[in-house]
Amino acid sequence: MGSATARALEAVVDLLRRGKSLSVTQAGVGAAEQTGAGQRLLVQSAGSTGAPKIIRRSPASWRASFEVTRDRFGVGPKAPYAVLGAITHSLTLYAVLEAFDIGCDLSVLTGLSPRSQARALRENGVQVLYATPTQLRLLAAASEEPIESLRWVFCGGGMLDVSTRTQICEMFPRATVREFFGASETSFVAISDAQTPPGAVGRAYPGVELCIRDGQGRHTSGTGEIWVKSPYLFDGYAMGNSPDTRWQGDYLSIGEMGQLDQGGNLTVLGRKSRMVTVADQNVFPEVVEAQMRAVPGVGPCAAIPVPDPTRGQVIVGVVEGAQDDALARRLQAHCRNVLGAHACPRRIVFVDRLPMLSAGKADLVALARDLGQRV
C-alpha cells in the first residue's frame, strides 16, 4: 500500500470515528458538508463514457447490504478481507467499509503488482475479495499456484469472460465466485449463483425489486429499460447529472437496457446512451464486447462505434496485445456468427495497452478519441 493510499485510508477512518460526512473522489478523501439530513457519503462515479459525477447516498443504504453479506452469505468477523483497487473507486470503498462494519481484518493491496497481490492474499489468509473483472484477469495471469484461503470472490464492474472465470476458479479452488450487477447510483441490483444461465447477471439481489419497462413506461416482457426499487439506492447527484437517471415513484432507472426471463434472471444489454444504429439495426457495444471476450486469446478489449458513410456507424474492436491477424479473423468470425454481420466489428485494432480508469474499466472516451485520430 502506497503512502497516498495509506493517507486516504487514515482519513476515512478518522472521519468515520468523528461521525462526519465523507467525500471520496479522485481529488482525495475529505469531510463533506454536513446537512440537516445527517451523515452522508459522497462518492465519484467511474465516468467511463463521460464526465464523472458525484453520488450522494446515506450510510444506511450501504449498511443494509452489509447485513446481507453477513446474514445471507455468512461472512463473519473472522473472515479477512482484501481489496485491489483505489479507495476512490466506489467498489473498493464499499468493501473497505463493509470490512470495518463486520469487524474483519483488511488487506489494502492497492498499487501492488498482480504477483505481489496474489502473494499477499496467500500470506494474509484472505477469505473475502472484492474486485473488478480486469483486476481478476490480471491476478489470474500472475498467480502461479492456488490460494486455498479464499471463500468468497465478489466481482462487479462488468462480466467475467469464460476464460477468466475458469482461471479464477482454479486459482481459488475453495471460493464461491459471485458476480453482481449494479452501479454507483443503485448499488447492488442482481447477483449470480450456480443456476444463473450464461449471459445473465443473476436474479434480484436480496431486498431488490426489478421490472422492465418500454419507452412509454409500461411493463414489458421483452427488452426494455431496467427499473430498480431497493433500500440501496442513492439520494441524488451532489455534482453533475445524467438525463438517463430518472425516478418513477420508488423506482429508479439509470438508462440500462435488459431483459428478465421467467426465472427472474436479468440479462443486461447495455446503456441506452451507448446504443448505436448500424445499418438501421440497434447495437449495444457492451454485447459486442462480451462476445469479443468469449474468443480464446482475447484479453482486455472494447467495442467503439465510429461514423460510417454507408451504415451510419460501425463497430471497431480494440484489443490489447501485439498485432495478430489470425486472432482478428477468429474474433470477427465469432461475432458475425453469434451477433450477425451488422454487429460484427468491421476491423480490429491492436494496442499496446488499453487506456483504463482507476475503477478498472476501459476509458471509452480516450479510446474513441484515439480511433478518431487513426481513421
Q: Is residue 142 situated within a structural domain?
A: no
Q: How many domains does the chain have?
A: 1
Q: Is residue 334 situated within a structural domain?
A: yes
Q: Is residue 360 situated within a structural domain?
A: yes
Q: Is residue 342 situated within a structural domain?
A: yes
Instruction: Indicate the range of 199-208, 248-257, 267-276, 324-333 predicted with least confidence.
Output: 267-276
Q: Is residue 152 situated within a structural domain?
A: no
How many residues are there in the chain? 375
Please give the residue range of the domain that contains residue 338: 275-374
CA 189, CA 224: separation in Å to the nearest integer? 16
Q: Is residue 245 situated within a structural domain?
A: no
> With bands split at pLDDT 50, 70 and 90, how would you rate the model's confidence at 188?
very high
CA 246, CA 257: separation in Å to the nearest integer? 14
Beta-bridge partners for 283: 276
At residue 233's C-alpha, the angle toward residues 218 and 60, to 5°, is 150
Instruction: Indicate the range of 41-50, 54-63, 82-91, 174-183 predicted with least confidence.
Output: 41-50
Specify the CATH number for the domain of residue 292: 3.30.300.30
Q: Is residue 279 situated within a structural domain?
A: yes
Q: Residue 368: phi, psi to the nearest 5?
A: -60, -40
For 253-283, the pLDDT digits (tens) are: 999 999 999 999 999 998 888 888 898 888 9
Q: Is residue 304 situated within a structural domain?
A: yes
Which helix (H) or strand (E) covers residue 342, if one does? none
> With bands split at pLDDT 50, 70 and 90, how would you rate the model's confidence at 375?
very low
Q: Which amino acid is present at 36?
A: G
> With bands split at pLDDT 50, 70 and 90, how would you rate the model's confidence at 48?
low
Grid cell locating 196: 444463473
Could you tell me if 80 and 128 are in contact, meaning their C-beta atoms sit under 8 angstroms apart?
A: yes
- 364: pLDDT strictly greater than 80: yes
CA 79, CA 155: separation in Å to the nearest integer? 17
Please tell me the predicted confidence (pLDDT) of residue 1.
Answer: 64
- 151: pLDDT strictly greater than 70: yes
